[in-house]
Structure 1
Amino acid sequence: MRIVKQNRFKNLSELHKEWTEAGVKASRATTHRRVKEFGYSCRIPLVKPLLNHRQRQRHLTWTKEKKNWTVAQWSKVLFSDESKFCISFGNQGPRVWRKGGEAHSPSCLKYSVKFPQSVLIWGAMSSAGVCPLWFLKTNVTVPVYQGILEHFMLPSADQLFEDAGLGLFHFPAGFGTCPHSQKHELNDHGVGVLDWPANSPDLNPIENLWGIVKRKMRNKRPKNADELKATVKETWASIPPQQCHKLITSMPRRIEAVIKAKGAPTKY
């Protein structure tokens, strides 16, 4: 158990080698049986953003400010974000030894660091449903985002919310501060900008929606970029408003989970 706990990412051969080097005479199969008897299973690790101390504190402060928000208030928010879809989703990577209930334990997580990458798709959702997707040819820079906002997001939001009215617009933390010109344009539409902490996908329900879309596409095999775009668009359009509303109703629980974790990554 001590060998496993020291490094959860050792494979069975490495565990067996270290055990035998400690003076235990046992086969590889026996090593495997003992590990399973201790309650460990070899699983694919979850991937979470690596948060520094300052980001964790910002995470915690932000959630404490929003802890009294109701589902009705969150239903007035239009959440947006980018996602990259690939023809092949690739290898799932190394597995990790863990017990039941340890999926979110720090020693069992596979951390990711967010770097700017090529972006193919921009999307948005609210409690009322999804907006049409915007397919991109370049990374989302501020000028590109300005075009999305003016020609795509605001018209889509007007159609999506209709008479209910959009209250707040989620501006992704990766772009820093919302440009003044965009704030002015949003204010002209009666929309405020929702401040957002960096590296906080567990607080953005559209991240879960991207995951739902990718799972629905798991058995699809597009052969080229055009087929991939068509598949993504079709799958995205099939998302019912009820599913979006269910994700929005999870916001109070997400807030509570971050506060409980003191700003660290949560199960969301």
Structure 2
Amino acid sequence: MDTTCFTSIAFQETGGFIPRPQTNRHRSRSKTDDRFIVSTSLRNRHLTGVNVQQELRRVRGVAVSQWTIRRRLKKANLTPKRPARGPKLTAAYRQARLQFSHKNLNWTIEQWSSILFTDESRMCLHGNNRRDRVYRRPGPREKKPEEKKLRFLQCCFAETVSYSGGSGMMCAGISYERKTELVFVPGVGWRRGLTTQKYVEDILLDHVVPYARYIGEDFVLMHGNAWCHTASVTRQFLEEVEIKPMMWPALSPDLNPIEHL
């Protein structure tokens, strides 16, 4: 439509070409609502924008869109991120970790150097940690039919293998000055776990016992709380070879320095 039409109408109404006063768009929420949105998200960091939207509507009776919620959170420097992962700790587990920390707080280097920290890890041939990313143009949300197929292009496709293509169990140990060899435990894979018999024969007898003789009488073994570590057969074998296991709090892999390796 020709703009001269609007100009002539404005001239007839106002008698000139001065623009008429316009009303700005009013905010659909107050500063109190903005503080409520931010404080609600800070009280529970796992709430989504929809959850905060529902909470605002339930408590204050204010109805806004979820995109408004996200904009207010972004203005407060609150953006969604991947949460850090860790084991679920009950009150008893936390108390045990605290007692362990107080007990070993004043240990010397000589005491820590006599401990062998061991751990087992399963290695998959085609493992997937769900962190793979591919850069492409957004396809499924586009209106053009030719762009909807971009997701399934060969260059944007990640192939998978059933059961991760097989797996194997590896074991190793570290101390203050030395480390053991990397041990491959045969017969342990995706379907078969590490049994007590294999742990005693292939790991303790062949690698831990010779290492204990190298350290001396003060040798202490730290091998976690897996069921093959705490079984009666394992405890009986350690008593026979006079190896003292270290009492370790449950669900505390973060306290084991070998986890960083």
- Answer whether contact 2:114 2:215 (CA < 8 A) is retained: no
**CA 1:61/1:135 → structure 2, altered by over 3 Å: closer, same or farther?**
same
Match of 1:79 among 82, 107, 117: 117
Match in the other structure for 1:9: 46
Q: CA deviation at 1:163?
A: 6.8
Q: 2:197 is paired with a residue of what secondary structure?
A: helix
Match in the other structure for 2:250: 198
- Answer whether contact 1:78 1:125 (CA < 8 A) is retained: yes
Q: CA deviation at 1:197?
A: 1.7
1:153-164 → structure 2 map (5 Å cutoff)? 153-155=208-210, 157=211
> What is the rounded CA distance, in whole Å, between the counterparts of 1:163 and 1:90 in structure 2?
38
Indicate whether 1:176 and 2:213 are aligned: no
Indicate whether 1:31 and 2:69 are aligned: yes
Match in the other structure for 1:263: none
Match in the other structure for 2:129: 90
- Answer whether contact 1:172 1:196 (CA < 8 A) is retained: yes
Indicate whether 1:146 and 2:208 are aligned: no
**CA 1:60/1:135 → structure 2, altered by over 3 Å: closer, same or farther?**
same
Q: 1:195 is paired with a residue of what secondary structure?
A: coil
Q: 2:181 is paired with a residue of what secondary structure?
A: coil
Match in the other structure for 1:54: 92
Which portions of structure 1, spanning 4 or more consecutive aligned residues, are displaced by more than 3 angstroms?
A: 10-30, 161-166
1:206-243 CA deviation, whole Å, 9 max, x = no partner? 1122xxxxxxxxxxxxxxxxxxxxxxxxxxxxxxxxxx
Instruction: Give the number of the structure whose alpha-carbon radius of gyration is greater.
Output: 2
Sequence identity percentage: 28
Q: CA deviation at 1:204?
A: 0.8
**CA 1:6/1:71 → structure 2, altered by over 3 Å: closer, same or farther?**
same
Q: CA deviation at 1:205?
A: 0.8
> What is the rounded CA distance, in whole Å, between the counterparts of 1:54 and 1:26 in structure 2?
43
Q: Please, which moves more after superposition, 67-76 or 19-28?
A: 19-28
**CA 1:68/1:135 → structure 2, altered by over 3 Å: closer, same or farther?**
same
**CA-based RMSD:** 3.2
- Answer whether contact 1:82 1:119 (CA < 8 A) is retained: no
Q: 1:89 is paired with a residue of what secondary structure?
A: coil
Match in the other structure for 1:68: 106
> What is the rounded CA distance, in whole Å, between the counterparts of 1:80 and 1:130 in structure 2?
10
Match in the other structure for 1:226: none
Unpaired stretches in structure 1, ≥5 consecutive residues: 93-117, 210-268
Q: TM-score, normalised by structure 2?
A: 0.56
Write the letter of the residue equivalent to 2:107: W
1:15-55 CA deviation, whole Å, 9 max, x = no partner? 45654675546555543232133342322111121122322
Unpaired stretches in structure 2, ≥5 consecutive residues: 1-37, 132-166
Match in the other structure for 1:167: 219
Q: TM-score, normalised by structure 1?
A: 0.55
1:80-138 CA deviation, whole Å, 9 max, x = no partner? 1122333333325xxxxxxxxxxxxxxxxxxxxxxxxx972222111224322223313
- Answer whether contact 2:53 2:63 (CA < 8 A) is retained: no
> What is the rounded CA distance, in whole Å, between the counterparts of 1:14 and 1:45 in structure 2?
17
